[in-house]
Chain A
Amino acid sequence: MRAKSLVPALYILFLMLPIYWLVAMSFKTTNEILAGFSLFPQTWTFDNYIEIFTDPTWYWGYINSIIYVTMNTVISVMVALPAAYAFSRYSFIGDKQLFFWLLTNRMAPAAVFALPFFQLYSAVGLFDTHIAVALAHCLFNVPLAVWILEGFMSGVPKELDETAYVDGYSFPRFFVTIFLPAIKSGVGVAAFFCFMFSWVELLLAKTLTAVAAKPIAAVMTRTASSAGYELGLLAAAGTLTIIPGAIVIYFVRNYIAKGFALGRV
Chain B
Amino acid sequence: MKTQNQRAWFFVLPVLVLVAFNALIPMMTVVNYSVQETFGDNLFFWQGLDWFEQVLTSERFHNALGRQFLFTFLILIIEVPLGIAIALAMPKKGPWVPFCLVTMALPMLIPWNVVGAMWNIFTLPDIGLLGYFMNHTLGISYDMTQDPIAAWVTIIVMDVWHWTSLVVLLAYAGLVSIPNAYYQAAEIDGASNWAIFRFIQLPKMKTVLTIAILLRFMDSFNIYTEPFVLTGGGPGNSTTLLSIDLVKIALGQFDLGPAAAMSLIYFAITLFASWLFYTLMTMNDNKS
Binding site for B on A (CB under 8 A): 4-8, 11-12, 14-22, 25, 33-34, 36-37, 39, 75, 78-80, 82-83, 85-87, 89-93, 95, 98, 102, 104-117, 119-120, 135-136, 138-139, 142-143, 146, 196, 199-203, 216-217, 220-221, 224, 231, 234-235, 238, 241-242, 244-246, 248-250, 253-254, 256-258, 260-262, 264-265
Contact indicator A120/B25 (Cβ below 8 Å): yes
Quick check: B110 and A253 within 8 Å, CB to CB? no
A248–B250 Cα gap in the complex (Å)? 36
**Contact between B106 and A37 (Cβ–Cβ < 8 Å)?**
no
CB pair B101 A139 closer than 8 Å: no
Which B residues are closer than 8 A to A by beta carbons?
2-6, 8-9, 11-12, 14-16, 18-19, 21-23, 25-27, 29-30, 85-86, 89-91, 96, 98, 100-114, 117-119, 121-122, 126-130, 132, 136, 161, 164-166, 168-170, 172-174, 176-177, 207-208, 211, 218, 221-222, 224-225, 229, 242-243, 246-247, 250-251, 256, 259, 263, 266-267, 270-271, 274
**Closest chain B CB from A122 CB (angstroms):** 12
Q: List 25 A-B contacts (CB under 8 A).
A: A5-B96, A11-B104, A18-B118, A18-B129, A25-B121, A37-B126, A37-B132, A79-B14, A82-B14, A85-B11, A93-B6, A98-B16, A107-B270, A116-B29, A135-B22, A136-B22, A139-B19, A203-B225, A217-B113, A217-B114, A220-B114, A253-B98, A253-B101, A256-B105, A258-B173
Residue numbers in B under 8 Å from A106 (CB-CB):
218
Cα distance A37–B125 when bound, in Å? 10
Q: Return the chain A residue nearest B110 by Cβ.
A: A242
Known: A5-B91, A79-B15, A146-B15. Contact between A89 and B2, CB under 8 A?
A: yes
Cα of A89 to Cα of B118 in the assembled complex, Å: 45
Nearest neighbor of B242 in chain A, beta-carbon distance: A109
Chain B contact residues, majority secondary structure: helix
In the complex, chain B residues whose CB is within 8 Å of the CB of A78? 14
The reply to whether B108 and A196 form a contact with Cβ atoms under 8 Å apart is yes
Q: Is the CB of A110 within 8 A of B19?
A: no
Assess the A142–B267 pair: CB atoms within 8 A: no
Distance from A129 Cβ to chain B, minimum over Cβ atoms (Å): 15
Chain A residues closer than 8 Å to B98, beta-carbon distance: 253-254
A21 and B122 in contact, given A116-B30, A242-B114, A265-B177 (Cβ under 8 angstroms): yes
Residue of A nearest to B85 (CB): A7
